[in-house]
């Protein structure tokens, strides 16, 4: 009996705390409209087996910008070419960076790899070096035989793996 009372009291305290937190916490970002997500899984079931058609249907209801929760990840879907063009022209710097997975951060690869660096002078310098030193026509011509050998090796590996 006492354990039941304690459980009910703890549940009520948790519920009241959660409601107060939701009511009084300021919204971190104003997000575009979208369908109401389910707890934990979000809007994953709204995509269906043909996501492109689901996005088109959602755009008819919610407009060209839609907020979807795919699991715990908040995703903004742009379904209009005009809005996409405007976003990339006005917000190109803020959209240029990408979310870095924890697995990449764990090995400090996010600080050492051009792929994960945010747009910054260091990133621009590494990009310039790779364009001049690694991807110049002379370097590509010099490494062509090696690249062809690697492609043949990959094709052989895929053939070997596909045998039953």
Indicate whether 132 belongs to any domain.
yes
Rounded to two decimals, the pTM is: 0.53
Tokens 């304690």 appear where? 6
pLDDT in tens, 91-143: 877 777 777 888 888 888 788 788 888 888 988 898 899 888 888 889 899 99
Indicate whether 131 belongs to any domain.
yes
- Mean pLDDT value of segment 56-74: 91
Indicate whether 122 belongs to any domain.
yes
The domain of 146 spans 108-164
Mean pLDDT highest for which of 69-73, 97-101, 122-126, 156-160?
A: 156-160
- For residue 47 the two structure tokens come to 């995509």
Indicate whether 160 belongs to any domain.
yes
Indicate whether 156 belongs to any domain.
yes
> Is the confidence at residue 25, as pLDDT, over 80?
no
Indicate whether 162 belongs to any domain.
yes
Indicate whether 103 belongs to any domain.
no
Mean pLDDT highest for which of 5-14, 24-33, 81-90, 96-105?
A: 81-90
Instruction: Determine the 3-state secondary structure of 103 from DSSP.
Output: helix
User: What is the number of domains present in the chain?
Assistant: 1
**CA–CA distance, 10 with 118 (Å, rounded to integer):** 44
Q: Is 131 exposed, middle or buried (0-12, 13-18, 19+ CB in 10 A)?
A: exposed
Indicate whether 94 belongs to any domain.
no
> Is the confidence at residue 16, as pLDDT, over 90?
no
Residue 18's pLDDT is: 77
């Amino acid at each position: 009996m006492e354990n039941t009372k304690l459980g009910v009291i703890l549940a009520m305290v948790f519920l009241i705390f959660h409601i107060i937190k939701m009511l009084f916490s300021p919204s971190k970002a104003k997000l575009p409209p979208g369908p109401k997500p389910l707890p934990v899984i979000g809007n994953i079931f709204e995509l269906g087996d043909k996501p492109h058609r689901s996005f088109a249907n959602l755009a008819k209801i919610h407009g060209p910008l839609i907020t979807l929760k795919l699991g715990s990840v908040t995703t903004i879907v742009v379904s209009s070419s005009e809005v996409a063009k405007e976003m990339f022209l006005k917000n190109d710097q803020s959209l240029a960076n990408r979310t870095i997975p924890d697995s990449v951060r764990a090995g400090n690869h996010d600080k050492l790899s051009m792929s994960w660096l945010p747009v910054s002078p260091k990133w621009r310098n590494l990009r310039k070096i790779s364009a001049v030193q690694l991807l110049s026509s002379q370097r590509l011509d010099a490494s062509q035989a090696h690249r062809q050998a690697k492609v043949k090796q990959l094709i052989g590996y895929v053939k070997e793996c596909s045998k039953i």
